[in-house]
Structure 1
């Protein structure tokens, strides 16, 4: 580790004590950030972990909707996000006013439905929904929607298609997609598979159907970790999700060889929003006590939906 990084990490550790802080980090953060976190996980794990934090401050190393969720589930905590510009293409694709208009149109047409949102959405959007799902609990939550109700699933059409396949429930799908997972190239994937005979391919359900169908296993980040843990022999594993996930996989399972699946226009699909968080920004947000997630009136209703969906 370079000396400058070591110095910044030491500053962060001292500031954590001074500010009574816990650092939570998503698997899509850079490895050096995951390495200093008190807890790493997927969206569901992080939401649940946030409710167990005893410190007064949470530094959330992820994107804005994740930090919002931590604040909603912990109103009394100070929640800091190293960079407020760390957004999400999925959350941006389903603004609350547009969703509200679409829901009203469906009701005017006599449709009886419940709205299920992927956790990758704003708090204002969550406040309009009946359920919130992550890739880790989506199948279970879909099973809780009454059979006589239609399902409006927002905002990820690829995850929605995958849930239709595995649950058999027909859904009205919002036309959103993750900018990272949508641009995986099936042609490049097939070429990579041919160059690594006997390899295993794992894919996130946010990937398009052509990537999922070419994969040996489809699941969220935590499901991928569990799948790899059960593989008996050392092998090459192609990973069709945000490439920082490989840091976590290599840390746990060094007997395997992990390879990022290429995107249409690049060698790997790094999330530019996740990349906005840096060690320097973590240090600075602890030093300055900002940027901070502040309470919004929509958080009350969003909190009801989140607790019902993720904590019960």
Structure 2
């Protein structure tokens, strides 16, 4: 009997740790607007296994460490869809057009000249020059800058305007608060008819604008929620962080700038979602 009890306690403790780990993983997805479909990635479980093998005390790479490296990611668009081909570390060579040209050429030859119609890259000077060198050598190839990348950079520039940056941060504060508490998230969905505020991750800036748009569309429902008796009688309503969110939702400045930011960004967001879909770029 004593052995059974110890085994049960051990099993319960293991399950508690598993549940805690699952919650923290889910929180990471929520806070960073990462779609749950990312868990289907072939690298997802590999990442978790590698962390587990490091054991207690593992420190995840910092923002600075992650951004120092520069990867060139190659994908191939074909009748079956867009497929990942490979990634190459180009750290230190991002502006070396000759190096990038040789890399692009090697990938084209790997895929097969007869199979390649168009090469698309971002619009950095190194890649623009490399693309021109590639089409100069292989005149039957087309090179073009990535439209999605160009539009995302335009949204990034808009997002850097002081008033737009402020309203995007305010919107992020609202979503982070709501999605950090299961009860608040459930009551929010009750008032929005099941609609979400956080949108699937496309790019950082388009996702921020889409989330702001969702909040603007739910303006009346969110205000109703925070003035409803069900909310006012809850333990959350009396907390300082909840009061700050409520003040934000009743701020004329927030809604004025929110509507303006959505109006300015909407055409670009629609275009980006169109070109970032599964339709082929040519043919």
**TM-score range with shorter-chain normalisation?**
under 0.3
Which protein has greater RCO, CA pairs closer than 8 Å, 6+ apart?
A: 1
Q: TM-score, normalised to structure 2's length? A: 0.23
Q: Give the TM-score normalised by the residue count of structure 1.
A: 0.22
Give the greater-gyration-radius structure (CA): 2
